Structure 1
Amino acid sequence: MGIEKRVTELVEEKIADRPDLFLVDVKMHSNGKLIIHMDGDQGITIQDCAAISRHVGYHLEEENAIENAYNLEVSSPGIDTPLKLLRQYQKNIGRSITLKMADGSKREGTLLAASEKEMKLAETIKEKGKKAIQVETVVPLDQIIETKVLISFK
């Protein structure tokens, strides 16, 4: 079994009683860094990350699952990390997002809704000589290469 698959099982086991938490990603890098990205519907605490780290680390040691030295890192995805899961989209409804589209264009707006196949975006459209207007657009997820939450420092 691949190490990423085993780590995924260990994380799922640890958070089985925490329906508010979810696994975003597990990556074992060639430099020995094992990174687990977690999130929660209301965010995730340092204590949650530490508990997951202890659980995963303990079992990997017990099973001698990784032969070489490794560094285990459990955190939430950084704010600049693209959204991957529907649950992340749903958690960010109401926030401003930026999209990189498959055709190379970029779009920006407020995330209004998200499903398995598409999202609804409120975009501000400004035509020359006219007032800016808000337009609701449905965007198929398969046309999006990357979605990031925009950070506002206002």
Structure 2
Amino acid sequence: MIRKLRMRHLATAAIAMPAAMILASGTAQAAGNTTLVYTADGGSIMGGKAILFGNSSPERLQACDTETDGHSVIATVTWNNHGPHGAEIVDSDGSSDFCDNKPGNIKIVQIPEGAGYVVTACLYESGSKKKWACASKSGAA
């Protein structure tokens, strides 16, 4: 009797495990990723960050200037889908340590499903268009 129960449990587990793995992997891929990149100006206080919210369709790119230092932050996302594509947004108010979701600091982007992308955050001078202290991260839509 015990042996029959053990065999039934093993058979059930053998059938359930592959199904659970398939469902779990499909859910994770469909959810998309949010990519966060801090500017590379060193120290524990960063000048700003770029956030690509990939868990929505369309995606949203946000620039966050977190220091009142006279510099702006530019967030850029680039991808290649039958040619190079990209978008950028600038935040220059340095008003908060947190992103405050102001519409002027967010740009809607349409990255094709499965395309690889690179998100970059840089300190930025609007007048000279100079970028520095840049850092990047890769991901897939």
TM value normalised by structure 1: 0.26
Highest RCO, 1 vs 2 (Cα 8 Å, sep ≥ 6)? 2
Query: When you count strand as a share of all residues, which structure comes out higher?
Result: 2
